Homo-oligomer: A and B are copies of this chain.
Amino acid sequence: MLDFFSHIRDDLRVVEQEIAKVVQSRDSLLTQTSMHLLNAGGKRLRPAFALLAGRFYDCDKERLLPLAVALELIHMASLVHDDVVDASMTRRGIPTVKANWGNGISMHTGDYLFAKSLVLISTYKDPFIARVLADTSVKMCEGEIHQISTAYSANQTWRDYFYRIKRKTALLIAASCQLGAVAAGAPENEHRRLGRFGHHLGMAFQITDDILDMVADQRELGKPIGGDLRQGILTMPVIYSLEKSSQRERLRELVEIRDKTEAQVVEAIEIIKEAGGIHYAVAASQKYIAKAKKNLNQLPDRPVKEIFRQIADFVGIRRF
């Protein structure tokens, strides 16, 4: 577990047990596929953010639990569905549900996890929580479809990029922070502030993900380097380099090849590094982190504020 999560270690353990309990089905295959996914691990960032956001307020932990579990289920559902489209065979170092059971089972497992999250969310009387998560889910789909329909196209704009990463990543992290506060009874101006904190943190998180996909240690990352390029996903370092690199014509060619050889992936990454695409993305991520911290500063002074500050710092320097 990440160090700064030690403060909520016990709560996260309860979340973990609760997910395992919630996904049990009368259908043994569904239990099996869900548990496969659960056992693959993960940082449980979204539950952690919700639990920590709740710490700004005095509230019974029990109130946060269904939300925390639901957030992870939504995230897990989106991962299984991504794997169907991506044709990924491993995630977090182990075979995907798709690799073991095929497309149909993967899709329905995702649907199942998502539906289970709704059961949990429906236990909250305040319809605001359901409303935010419904909107977020709609936009997450828009992000995924946008990613598919723009794949391998070197004509993407910055606007396309920001549209996509906001939907793919930032919105659910924003919702995690905001709704943790909502469930804990936060006043509106404060839960909105936590939502903005989460949004900026989420943008930084996705940009860092994009960077790691090009520079990380494959073992630490748990998947092959250059995956985004192979799938035709244009990330920040790529879009920057398509504008600025002296070899941008060659990069454009490489980006648009559908079945890239290993050598072509390496060549593309070299061009991007040389153009300063990685540095540019690191700086952009840092800017988002600064914005996140600015929002954090305006929240009530509680011990949890320091933990969130450490998390923000970590997102900028993480290596996996």
Instruction: Name A's B-contacting residues (CB within 8 A).
Output: 25-27, 29-30, 81, 84-85, 103-105, 107-109, 111-112, 114-116, 118-119, 121-125, 127, 130-131, 133-135, 137-138, 140-142, 144-146, 148-149
Determine if A134 and B118 form an interchain contact, defined as CB atoms under 8 angstroms apart. yes
Give the distance in Å from the alpha carbon of A144 to the alpha carbon of B106 in the complex. Answer: 12
A25: B residues at CB distance < 8 A: 142
Determine if B26 and A142 form an interchain contact, defined as CB atoms under 8 angstroms apart. yes
Secondary structure dominating the interface of A: helix
Give the distance in Å from the alpha carbon of A123 to the alpha carbon of B126 in the complex. Answer: 11
- Name A29's contact: one of B30, B104, B116, B149 (CB within 8 Å): B149
Determine if A137 and B149 form an interchain contact, defined as CB atoms under 8 angstroms apart. no
28 A-B pairs with C-beta separation under 8 A: A25-B142, A27-B142, A27-B149, A29-B146, A30-B141, A30-B142, A81-B107, A81-B108, A85-B104, A105-B145, A108-B141, A108-B148, A111-B137, A112-B141, A114-B114, A115-B137, A118-B118, A118-B130, A118-B133, A118-B138, A119-B135, A121-B130, A121-B134, A122-B130, A122-B131, A122-B134, A124-B127, A130-B130
Determine if A104 and B148 form an interchain contact, defined as CB atoms under 8 angstroms apart. yes
Closest to A116 in B: B138
Give the distance in Å from the alpha carbon of A138 to the alpha carbon of B103 in the complex. Answer: 19
Determine if B107 and A85 form an interchain contact, defined as CB atoms under 8 angstroms apart. yes
Determine if B115 and A138 form an interchain contact, defined as CB atoms under 8 angstroms apart. yes
What's the nearest-Cβ distance from chain B to residue A22, in Å? 10
Give the distance in Å from the alpha carbon of A81 to the alpha carbon of B29 in the complex. Answer: 18
Give the distance in Å from the alpha carbon of A29 to the alpha carbon of B118 in the complex. Answer: 27
A141: B residues at CB distance < 8 A: 30, 108-109, 111-112, 115
- Name A105's contact: one of B107, B127, B148 (CB within 8 Å): B148
Determine if B127 and A125 form an interchain contact, defined as CB atoms under 8 angstroms apart. yes
Closest to A86 in B: B104
What's the nearest-Cβ distance from chain B to residue A58, in Å? 25
What's the nearest-Cβ distance from chain B to residue A15, in Å? 19
Give the distance in Å from the alpha carbon of A28 to the alpha carbon of B133 in the complex. Answer: 22
Closest to A135 in B: B119
Give the distance in Å from the alpha carbon of A29 to the alpha carbon of B141 in the complex. Answer: 12
What's the nearest-Cβ distance from chain B to residue A31, in Å? 10
Give the distance in Å from the alpha carbon of A26 to the alpha carbon of B135 in the complex. Answer: 13
Instruction: Give the most central of A112, A130, A135, A141: most B CB within 10 Å.
Output: A141
Closest to A138 in B: B115
Give the distance in Å from the alpha carbon of A134 to the alpha carbon of B119 in the complex. Answer: 5
Determine if B138 and A119 form an interchain contact, defined as CB atoms under 8 angstroms apart. yes
